[in-house]
Structure 1
């Protein structure tokens, strides 16, 4: 069962509407997104690159910049060590490109997902030392590399960490002691003694902030660092950062830049993915462009994705884009196979009744564990860990729900784990095979999750009768874009809608078009409502509630008893030059 609830934030919507020359509906939608102060509202509606937070407020950013300037002047060799996901690849690109621009003797290394695992390791440090690398700078990793950094320092190397992951800690009685690697500079907004006003930035943004400072100190004009925002916007979306504060500015401006990008690699990937370059959206970044870059790190080497970003040859860029697209298509097929296996295991075991799902798919490609965990989490609305056999022991990925802090809960079981790290909503872990069942039992034994916590929640902004929907309102709502985590698409609800008729559409017969009327509509007025997806589920619900004859009446467009509550958003349908308003149904009952 779903639990529906209305966001019920209070404010003087009439006053806000007058002050900002917007409708009261838009004022309510903005307040529902936790925008309260005048400054926040101004930034939300009109934020520019000048409204981004001051990079100098990041702890150690000036120290890191000065260190890099000294190394560049001395001609010392610098190596960027990144990570194999989109955020890590983009952060590596940002640092490598910018350091080159400053005249650095710089190269890069990205760990192999299968061989090296996440983050910098001892073998990467030893290889760097053997190759006479003087300075290592990490991006999107390093904050948990306590022993690795210690080893590098013992070898006499300089280490700079740029990261955004949670700071590791140990429990000392009722207190926590946070442990930060003893690097020469550590830039991470989550450090307790860091005064940066917004900690919710991705690894590429942390790298970008360092570059802003470095460019300023090197006398390079600001527009040159601003050019990197189109890349940072991709990382921000793909690492599922909240689209609030400066993240919203980064993505908003990044999307504008991407729509007219001259970058060879991005242009080639947009063309290969058959996207309209003039209207790139958050969806395209998160579900098409990002996954293609990610696929190289999953099935081959993340350096393929990085080579695309670094490519200066049009033909090479096209070939690399095609390779990434093919790898992503292969990844989709493997994911589907793994998901089927996982669901089969869960449905045929006691795992199904667990509040925390821990499922072991021995022959699953380990790089796909996170995607499969995310799909299982969506299916069952439970925190999920997917484990698979690795070269050494067992590796896995975890995806969580809002009510469950995965990082904290894994920390309670760290005696069973060889290695783990991550966020409240996602984590990676390694363990011995014999500890899998113990992990499952301990996580479920410790959990305080209730049945209510596991109930799927559907929230909407307000009740909106159909008669209030207009082209102007739809256009005005567009001011809230870009949508994403932390700034969700506005949703509206309406009760007791009269369903006049229904059609099944689509090549795969997976779309239902309803003709509906609510109490606010006059007798002649009706509206189109589109339901995408589960046609069989819709039919089953109608039959269960009203009977098979009423479903037939619905499809025949004759008088029937079918009434529904809808959660929806309004949209404009354009077809053969004609425009009309329709509502896209997200949930119904």
Structure 2
């Protein structure tokens, strides 16, 4: 699929901003492209220190919620942390559990079973917890939507403190949304209208950290002691794909520093198993290595294994758990790849290939990977994608969207066909009767506002740079903008007419290619691209016909335009500059 390249432009005075903020012009341009233009805002972004975080007591109900927990500790009441099975829920649970243990609380945690209970609180489980002696339930990364469940818990005499970051539930009446909240004893969620907390985008683990911070302040414990939990909060922040700005950037940036030198036994064991011991941990390692291993337990086993790993004090047990997480994630990867390949094949060989909203029902997709599969199919076709599988009671699944299509709002228009759904513009989960699946597919496509132009993939380029600018100092300056993710995307650079002097096809499956690019004065730099060898060969074949294979072995006249990210490649202790190719095309001349 042809990709549209867009160079970002700005009317800001980049030179004056770079001088005033004491940063180079390229960094200034990148920050301006991300709407970070104010000098004080830039300085805080470039120096994300923990002391710049807000007072946790600015959150509505923080004072009341921490009092309930401190009273429970003093009276030896049993506290149960009610968590969630994804990386944010796991790290939230670990933060609260470790902190309360340090405060000598009578505390346990419970993580719901994804398939048997689903997301959030469950009445049957609340009743069991009561029978087991629960006096207080402290939720994390869930609870704001548990209207009936919390009402039930209260009827059993259980005090409930909610810590959550999700959107508030609402009832829509005559085009007006009336927001509702559960009858909990305290609700700590900055998304409440009545909450004056300045930063609204914390994830569940971020709010759990703020809760512990408030507990420590009340007890007169040095606030710095709470900072050990930044390590877990950063994992939750990066993995939950919240905007990496403001407090989220402070948490994530400081977390990466801590994890690179972690003293946590469980994290150390997982880092060892993943083969990244003694390396600087970056957002990529969290988002694509550590996070998926944590998530895999909630998908294929129980996320309680991940909480146990993060709170483990026995190195042998930690090693055993780390290997289990790694193995589960490998299984998850294989399951995902198999289903993605089968679904892409079925779409390409059916009428579905003409749809601008893909709704695919495949009974044997494991419920826990439906969202991952939907994301990968969406990447292939660049259209909103919903993958449904056979649930216990009815088909259920997940959807992933593109920026031009608000999936949540479009599903709202079809709510008469859907039994249950929730989400946001880019992602959603739903349950639906099987007979309504074709109706949903038909209505979403008939009402689809997307144009042919909308579904062309777009890459936004931060700046055009000459390859001679790429050196160790330049790369280190770019890396200071880490961690990258939502709200702070990895910078994209581009250049035209890059002369290629060598091409190598690499990898066990021959799915990676490496180019040697000429700079000037006989200097060269390598550029690497993963999983696009077939596309690269097809491009050459379209240009050179059957002689394209000669170009692969002797690309003397080959020139490419490329979008790339510069990085340092370290191999066998030797470091060199390298370009990670995001997209490529033949040059016009």
TM-score range, shorter chain: over 0.9
User: Residue 499 of structure 2 contacts residue 517 of structure 2 at CA under 8 Å; is this kept in 1?
Assistant: yes
1:487 has 2:488 as partner = yes
Partner of 1:543: 541
Secondary structure of 1:480's counterpart equals: coil
Match of 2:419, SS state, is strand
RMSD: 2.0
Structure 1 residue ranges without an equivalent (≥5): none
Closer/same/farther in 2, CA of residues 181 and 408 from structure 1, 3 Å limit: farther
Contact 2:21/2:39 (<8 A) preserved: no
Q: 1:528 to 1:280 in 2, by over 3 A?
A: closer
Please tell me whether residue 116 in structure 1 is matched to residue 117 in structure 2.
yes
| Partner Cα distance (2:467, 2:338) in 1 | 42
1:54 aligns with 2:52: no
Q: Displacement, 1:72?
A: 2.1
1:90-116 per-residue CA deviation (whole Å, 9 max, x = no partner) reads 111111222222232221111100100
Distance 1:414 1:218, change over 3 A: farther
Give the corresponding residue for 2:531: 533
Partner of 2:221: 220
Listed as ranges, the matches of 1:405-424 within 5 Å are: 405-424=406-425
**1:87-486 alignment runs, 5 A limit:** 87-486=88-487
- Structure 1 residue aligned with 2:565: 569
How far did 1:522 drift? 4.8
For 1:565 and 1:535, locate their aligned partners in 2 and report how far apart those are by CA, in whole Å: 16
1: CA distance, partners of 2:36 / 2:146: 37
Q: Assess, with a 3 A threshold, how the Cα gap between structure 1 residues 217 and 156 changes in structure 2: closer, same or farther.
A: same
- CA displacement at 1:303 relative to structure 2: 0.9
TM-score by length of 1: 0.94
Shift in Å at residue 344 of structure 1?
3.0
Quick check: 1:102–1:218 contact (8 Å CA) kept in 2?
no
Q: Work out whether residues 21 and 42 of structure 2, in 8 Å CA contact, stay in contact via their aligned partners in 1.
A: no
Uncovered stretches (5+) of structure 2, i.e. residues with no partner: none
Q: CA deviation at 1:154?
A: 2.5
Q: CA deviation at 1:278?
A: 3.5
Return the alpha-carbon distance in structure 1 between the equivalents of residues 78 and 405 of structure 2. Answer: 44
Quote the Cα distance in structure 2 between the aligned partners of 1:17 and 1:443. Answer: 47
Count of matched residue positions in the alignment of Structure 1 and Structure 2: 584
1:416 aligned counterpart, secondary structure? coil
Q: 1:553 to 1:325 in 2, by over 3 A?
A: closer
Matched, 1:556 2:554: yes
Shift of 1:471: 2.9
CA deviation profile, 1:205-224 (whole Å, cap 9, x unmatched): 11111111111112222122
The 3 A distance-change label for structure 1 pair 531 and 329 is closer
In structure 2, what is the Cα distance between the partners aligned to 1:264 and 1:454? 46
1:584 deviates by 2.6
TM-score, length basis structure 2: 0.94
| Higher deviation after alignment, 127-136 or 79-88 | 127-136
Residue 331 of structure 1 deviates from its aligned partner by 1.3
3-state SS in 2 of match to 1:106: strand
* Shift in alpha-carbon separation, 1:575–1:181, aligned structure 2, 3 A: closer
**Residue 586 of structure 1 corresponds to which residue in structure 2?**
582
Distance 1:330 1:28 in 2: 42
Q: Aligned in 2, Cα 1:194/1:330: closer, same or farther, shift over 3 Å?
A: same
2:58 paired with 1:70: no
